[in-house]
Amino acid sequence: MPSEYLPYNAVRVPRNITRLVIFSSDMVFTMVSWVGASYLLYGFERAPVMQLLYSWPTLVLIALRFLSFLWFRSWNIILRYVGEKDYFHAFLTVWSPSAVFSMIYLVGFVPAYGLRVLAIVWVDFFIMLSLMVGFRMALRMVYDWLKVRQNHRKATAIFGAGEMGSMLERVIRYNASNEFRIDAFFDDNPKVHGKRLNGIPVFNPQKSFSKMVAKYGIEVVILGIRDLPPARKASFINQCLAHQIRVLKLPPVESWLHGELNLRLLKNINLEDLLGRAPILLDEAALRASIQGKTVLVTGCAGSIGSEILRQLLRQEPAFVLGVDQAESPLAEIALELKTVVEEGRFLPVIGDVRDADRMARLFEEYRPEYVFHAAAYKHVPIMEDFPEEAIKSNVLGTRVLADLAVQHQAEKFVMISTDKAVNPSNVMGASKRIAEIYVQALNYSEACATQFITTRFGNVLGSNGSVIPIFKEQIEKGLPLTVTHPDIKRFFMTIPEACSLVLEASAMGHGGEIFVFDMGEQLRILDLAHRMIQIYGLTPGKDVEIQFIGLRPGEKLYEELLDHKETLAETHHPKIFRAQVRPGDFHQIRSDIDLLIAGAQNGWRPAELVQTMKTLVPEFVSQNSVFSELDNKEPQT
């Protein structure tokens, strides 16, 4: 593209022509303002005005103005970026010759022409400044109007008429190739309602949202407030989605390039923004005191939960973190992400299988971990229904291997990541996790056990590998229908950082034997999540994207629970963490029963035999929508 043209999608006018127009206009304004000021001060009498115009003061002033235009390069501006600094520059350009002329006039011209000419000069100053600034503003407005017409930009509103919203509006206005046209601001602050910001009206979203959306045809809303309370953010986003408005949000300030916002970094809102949960406040001092300087082992470190535990752990300054995972590619990705701490020798990623007792024993002997966070597990319900032996070997055997090694090597704490599916389990996966819970809790109270075993239990996490949200996202982006198992199915949800923060908090407060249950709020209907996901993409459920009900999958139930009927909750010092009060069983009997179950999984027992043994260990395990329902003498749920 030739250099004399503006960027792509802008109004293309050669720069030299633009400069010539501006310079010529300024010279014309010089004469107009001087003549106008003369007529004003001489009471519109023609004779004295004409005498002044053909005098030396007029020639001196015009010459000074001409030199000032050259010195300050007043014509060398970029129309689309004209702003406050350009207006100040224009002020200096006009003020300088007026000031110099006044000094010259006082020295050499007063006796001949009188003091009235000085008054004319300063009236001329105000007229000239108004003409220059007004002309530049008019040029920019014409440029913006032509640019918007050419680009067919989307009618956009900004939520937040403060400093951040004002900056965002300027960035959008000055950017030649973006898709937005700011038509309105929304703000909760009553002090700005009815006012204008950069000429754009500010409205109260709680009173006039629907009316203004219809009036301006708003298609997009950008959240222009960084510290908006989560509940208010969720409420406003839902308000937008109900009107089929696409919502974007600013990226974190630390991701701005050199402290400047790049519009390409604007992000679609996500389901985490719709949860409306207040940020979790941790006892940072207690957490750091428990972790700082310790050697920590994290299993499943490349998974959604394990990797976030890693990130949050490293902020607490442990001496060394050992991360174990059997998945090669995800482990390589987390190693690359944490390359700096790997090079510093604070984190070591290791390929390994928690079921491999010899491999795990060598790691314990070499690194002597003081804390163990056990996140490795098989978690997909329908798959584990087909392969119960693998669920047993991974979730039960793997946990037992690590727990026994933690006791043998006198680790201080062992934190097991469990699931709400372990409560009154309806599937093999949930039952296998419940058996693991039973084992570590019984081991905690066994003789000569110095390790504190702590179990954390929570529901689904948004965005985890294989969860419903990434599946919905992929289906929408491929133009496929969204598949929901049942219109009434519900699940508890947390964000990954929320869940991991509570895991670390529970690890610091636990003394051994506890099952900590997290407050996950209300269960959410998966159908409602599907609707919201479609709306987040600016589409209409049932019109742009269909929703198909495919029936409950093997092992699924309509809703999850955080406690079974034998458990009660006790409060802790943290408002989102509760302690389930469960009486541990006899360790030796439990160990014997689990040994039998593991031997069956390793020696080729039929699936029905394995599941029947699991039901003996977990009497509340009642299969749902599964071939194993016949073991309960009940009809499968459909």
* 592 pLDDT above the threshold of 70: yes
* 5 pLDDT above the threshold of 50: no
Among candidate residues 42, 25, 59, 35, the one with its CA nearest the CA of residue 124? 35
Q: Please, how many CA atoms are within 13 Å of residue 515, restricted to the half-sphere of its CB? A: 27
Instruction: Provide the β-strand partners of residue 320.
Output: 295
Nearest 5 degrees, angle CA 616-CA 619-CA 624?
105
Residue with tokens 């680790």: 411
What pLDDT is attached to residue 78? 56
- Whether the CB-CB separation of 500 and 312 falls below 8 Å is answered with yes
For 471-495, the DSSP string reads: HHHHHHHTTPPEEES-TT-EE-EEE
What pLDDT is attached to residue 81? 55
- Whether the CB-CB separation of 628 and 622 falls below 8 Å is answered with no
What pLDDT is attached to residue 404? 96
What is the torsional sign of CA 331, 336, 338, 343?
positive
CA distance 548 to 550: 6
CA distance 416 to 515: 9
CA distance 300 to 318: 18
In this structure, the dihedral spanned by the alpha carbons of residues 305, 310, 313 and 319, taken in order and rounded to 10 degrees, is: 150
What pLDDT is attached to residue 6? 38
Q: Which fold has domain 153-269?
A: Rossmann fold (3.40.50)
Q: Which residues, at least 6 apart from 578, have a Cβ–Cβ distance to it below 8 Å?
A: 516, 517, 518, 519, 569, 570, 571, 572
Q: Which amino acid is at 473?
A: K
Mean per-residue pLDDT, 589-601: 95
pLDDT in tens, 543-576: 888 999 988 888 888 877 766 656 677 788 888 8
Lowest mean pLDDT among 16-20, 336-340, 393-397, 485-489: 16-20
Same fold across 153-269 and 284-632: yes
| 539 C-beta neighbours (distance < 10 Å), count | 15
Superfamily of domain 284-632: NAD(P)-binding Rossmann-like Domain (3.40.50.720)
What pLDDT is attached to residue 140? 72
- Whether the CB-CB separation of 382 and 554 falls below 8 Å is answered with yes
Question: In angstroms, how far is the first alpha carbon of the chain from the final one?
Answer: 64
User: Distances from the Cα of 502 to the Cαs of 217, 229, 309, 436, 496, in angstroms?
Assistant: 43, 20, 10, 20, 10
What's the DSSP call for residue 315?
A: T
Instruction: List the domain boundaries for the chain.
Output: 15-148, 153-269, 284-632
What pLDDT is attached to residue 136? 74
β-bridge pairing 577-581 and 490-491 = unpaired
The separation between CA 240 and the C-alpha centre of its own chain, rounded to angstroms, equals 18
Helices and strands per DSSP (H, E), number in the chain: 24, 22
What pLDDT is attached to residue 157? 93
CA distance 407 to 418: 20
Tokens of 443: 């081991």
Angle subtended by helix axes 56-72 and 84-108, to nearest 10: 150
* 455 pLDDT above the threshold of 80: yes
Q: What letters, b where the CB count within 10 A reaches 16 and e where it falls short, cover 123-160?
A: bbbebbbebbbebbeebbeebbeebeeebebebbbbbb
What pLDDT is attached to residue 10? 43
pLDDT in tens, 81-109: 566 666 777 777 778 878 887 887 777 66
H/E stretch holding 107 reads helix 84-108
CA distance 401 to 351: 16
Angle subtended by helix axes 468-477 and 526-536, to nearest 10: 40
Name the H helices within 323-478.
328-337, 339-343, 357-367, 381-386, 388-391, 398-408, 428-444, 468-477
CA distance 628 to 54: 108
pLDDT in tens, 273-300: 777 666 666 777 888 889 999 999 999 9
For 13-60, the DSSP string reads: --HHHHHHHHHHHHHHHHHHHHHHHHHHHTTT-HHHHHHHHTSHHHHH
- Whether the CB-CB separation of 460 and 520 falls below 8 Å is answered with no
Residue with tokens 């700011």: 182
Phi/psi of residue 507, nearest 5 degrees: -65, -35
- Whether the CB-CB separation of 396 and 594 falls below 8 Å is answered with yes
What pLDDT is attached to residue 1? 35
Among candidate residues 568, 456, 462, 603, the one with its CA nearest the CA of residue 516? 456
Lowest mean pLDDT among 144-153, 236-245, 380-389: 144-153
CA distance 61 to 34: 9
pLDDT in tens, 500-530: 988 999 898 888 888 998 877 778 888 888 8
pLDDT in tens, 393-422: 999 999 999 999 999 999 999 999 999 899
The answer for 84, left when phi > 0, alpha when psi is -120 to 50, beta otherwise, is: alpha
What pLDDT is attached to residue 11? 45
Q: Which residues, at least 6 apart from 153, have a Cβ–Cβ distance to it below 8 Å?
A: 178, 179, 180, 181
* 499 pLDDT above the threshold of 50: yes
Rounded to the nearest integer, the mean pLDDT of the chain is 83
The answer to whether 421 is a known catalytic residue is yes
What pLDDT is attached to residue 104? 78
CA distance 26 to 32: 10
Catalytic: which of 249, 379, 393, 421?
421
Task: For residue 454, name the pLDDT band (cuts at 50, 70, 90).
Answer: very high
Task: For residue 536, name the pLDDT band (cuts at 50, 70, 90).
Answer: confident
pLDDT in tens, 25-50: 878 877 888 777 777 767 677 777 67
**What percent of the chain lies above the pLDDT cut of 90?**
37
| 320 C-beta neighbours (distance < 10 Å), count | 17
| 467 C-beta neighbours (distance < 10 Å), count | 18
pLDDT in tens, 306-355: 999 999 999 999 999 999 999 999 999 999 999 999 999 999 999 999 99
pLDDT in tens, 191-230: 999 999 888 899 999 888 999 999 999 999 999 887 788 8
Count of residues making up the chain = 638
Task: For residue 146, name the pLDDT band (cuts at 50, 70, 90).
Answer: low
What's the DSSP call for residue 592?
A: H
Task: For residue 466, name the pLDDT band (cuts at 50, 70, 90).
Answer: low
